[in-house]
Chains A and B, each alone.
Chain A
Amino acid sequence: MSPSGAEVIRQIKQQVEEVDPAEVSEHQGNGVVLVDVREGEEWDRGHIPGAVHVPRGYLESRIDGAVPDRDARVILYCASGQRSALAAHTLKELLGFSDVASMTGGITLWKDRGYEVEVPKVLTPEQKERYGRHLLLPEIGTEGQARLLDAKVLLLGAGGLGAPTALYLAAAGVGTLGIVDDDEVDLSNLQRQVIHTTDRIGMPKVDSAEATIKALNPDVDVVKHPVRLDASNIMEIIDGYDVIVDGVDNFPTRYLLNDATVRLDIPVVSASILGFDGQLSVFKPHDGPCYRCLYPVPPPAELAPSCGANGVLGVLPGTMGLLQATEVVKLVTGIGEPLIGRLLLYEALGATFTELKVRRDPECPICSREPSEISDAEMGVFPDYEAFCAAAG
């Protein structure tokens, strides 16, 4: 006679190591991977902080993304300790995990003992469908999507670089997109600035960008800054943003932005383009070099032509802008290795990428100082960058 389901569970539980919630609480974060194997709705109602979510039904297909190391210490939990025991058995016997345990009593006992439970941001059914392809990625999942929805990203310019970046960040569900641009849509923009349209020529770019973003994803709150960024307004505009996307077309603003973001500790995803060439890097204050570490002084005017004067391949800002958007998503969700301390060069004609190291300059006039060492009186006070760069030219 075949054994009953209850008997099979009993037998499997005997073969699996079980640990008490007290032990899990004690070892949390010490290299232990805690995996919640319950269904999505159960996870949404509350889970153990720091746990990763791999529903038991998807265990075999998703565990590699969540726990790549077969020798990692893995502790599974569910509601009561049964499903996690079965899942632990699968990981050990079928998938070759060497150090797996199941938490006794599940999250029910964990809660009874008074340990902390985190209730995640819950996505609406429409959001679950819209961001479904993100939710399938263990690296992003509901938690990463919630971070994107809570993120505030500022785009400097709704031009060549800003246009594709804004489109994809809006599609990805970045909750707040600020756009700084005082320009209007011009026919000559449309060769590359794909967020604008022919019937919007003459319209302020911030309004045109907002219309496209809202049509693409109504989840996104667009904050329009129809001004030119300068020393008098930069601190007020950029304060409160999580990440800034720099695609500005002049050196004075790039240096000004660098100094302000170092002071406010805001990471900048920076790109520049000319002709068939692009450059990309991430400047995360104090974690890596800043723009001044890479380029301490701007080049003279004859070595710093703009795209307006020299031309640019229309798809190039698309390529570079989407690399920027990718770095933004990585910074917001905390996944991957952002391009900090590295400069990526792209040469479209040869189809080559070159990566160069960028070191922090211990003598850097800006980022070698702690922001706290900069007095209130100094905050917001900048040298006259226009004159500085003109003098350099």
Chain B
Amino acid sequence: MPLIKIPVVLRQSVGGEKEVRAEGGDVGTVLRALADRHPDLSSQLFGPDGSLNRYVNVYLNDEDVRVLDGLDTTVRESDVLNVLPAMAGGV
């Protein structure tokens, strides 16, 4: 199963884990499988129409999935997904 790295702000929604795994052959399936297990995550990742929220970046390995095939991007077992919302902390 591909590895998904969870940012600080979403960790509470997945029981505090930094890294989780979920089944799926493409980015959308993997993320929805994860959101099914952790319902709080669903509205943080997806808009009402099921598309990825624009304020969340998802990277397949080091590439933004939006420049690949978006949620349809193929994911292999060994791949790493990075979920990344913007951070503004500086103080």
Contact = CB atoms under 8 A, between A and B. Distances in A.
Contacts of A251: 86, 88
A307 B90 contact: yes
B44 interface: yes
Contacts of A175: none
A299 B89 CA distance: 13
A308 to B, nearest CB: 6
A272 interface: yes
Given A275-B8, A299-B55, A359-B67, A249 B62 contact: no
Q: Which of B10, B59, B67 has the most CB of A within 10 A?
A: B59
Interface string B55-89: 11101001110010000000000000010111111
Contacts of B91: 157, 159-160, 249, 306-308, 312
A350 B57 contact: no
Contact of A274 (B5, B8, B62, B63): B8
Contact of B87 (A279, A354, A355): A279
A13 B10 CA distance: 71
A355 B88 contact: no
Contact of A249 (B7, B84, B88): B88
A271 B87 CA distance: 9
Contacts of A306: 88-89, 91
A143 B87 CA distance: 37
Contacts of B89: 249, 272-274, 305-307, 310, 312
B31 to A, nearest CB: 16
Contacts of B55: 295-300, 303, 392
A295 B90 contact: no
A295 B8 contact: no
Nearest to A252: B88
A161 interface: yes
B90 A296 contact: no
Interface string A217-252: 000000000000000000000000000001111110
Interface in A348-373: 349-350, 354-359
Contacts of A160: 90-91
Interface string B34-68: 00000000001000000000111101001110010
A300 B44 CA distance: 9
Contact of A304 (B18, B64, B86): B86
Nearest to A274: B89
B20 interface: no
6 contacts: A248-B90, A251-B88, A277-B87, A304-B88, A345-B82, A359-B64
Closest 4 CB pairs of A and B: A295-B86, A247-B90, A272-B87, A299-B55
